[in-house]
Amino acid sequence: MVYIILGKGFEEIEAIATMDVLRRGGVKAAFASVGDRSVEGAHGISVSADTAVKKIDLSGADMLIVPGGLGGVESIEGSRETMETLRKALESGIPLAAICAGPRVLAKIGALEGKNAVCYPGMEDQMGGAKIDNSCLSCVDGNIVTGRGPGAAIAFGLEVLRFLKGDAATEKVAAGMTYDIR
């Protein structure tokens, strides 16, 4: 199971586009809320989460994903339970992904030290020991996937799908979406 963590103020396009791409690719994925089941995004769009972060079973987790949206990121960082879940995932070797401001959360738990990554332009100094190259839409380094921002949401989703299911599944989904992945 892949969990996309939603905190109040999350960037809707990053969370929903990623979920859409993953489900098109046959990945079992769920939205996990930091607080209430209904989570309002940065632009007033509410999403009903499938579960809560406190109910995540890391023994069955294939990846945890942190969308951006500064409010959502601050909500995640302000939740001791959510940060501890992410730390435990990191320690267990569970892959992590984040986009836009989301990589800041990964930096705070030490997941980006020495890693190649991308983030929302202007947040580079908040990425800990990561090597940031924002000339790319998304980046994979080991078991960490990062994305640059809202405009990279589909590319990020496809990169996460590639990480989880490989090239063939990714190319099939991209073709079905008429998305050019050259």
Cα(139)–Cα(96) distance, integer angstroms: 12
Q: Please report how the helices 167-176 and 153-165 are oriented relative to each other, as an axis angle in degrees rounded to 10.
A: 140
Do 68 and 11 contact (CB within 8 A), yes or no? yes
Task: Based on the residue annotation, tell me whether 119 is a catalytic residue of this protein.
Answer: no
Which of 100, 119, 136, 139 is catalytic? The answer is: 100
Cα(148)–Cα(89) distance, integer angstroms: 22
pLDDT one-digit tens code per residue, 121-135: 999 999 999 999 999
Cα(115)–Cα(82) distance, integer angstroms: 22
Give the tokens for residue 123.
């947040």
pLDDT one-digit tens code per residue, 69-124: 999 999 999 999 999 999 999 999 999 999 999 999 999 999 999 999 999 999 99
pTM for this predicted structure: 0.97
Structural domains of the chain, with CATH: 2-99+152-176 (3.40.50.880)
Q: What is the CA radius of gyration of the chain?
A: 15
Cα(116)–Cα(131) distance, integer angstroms: 5
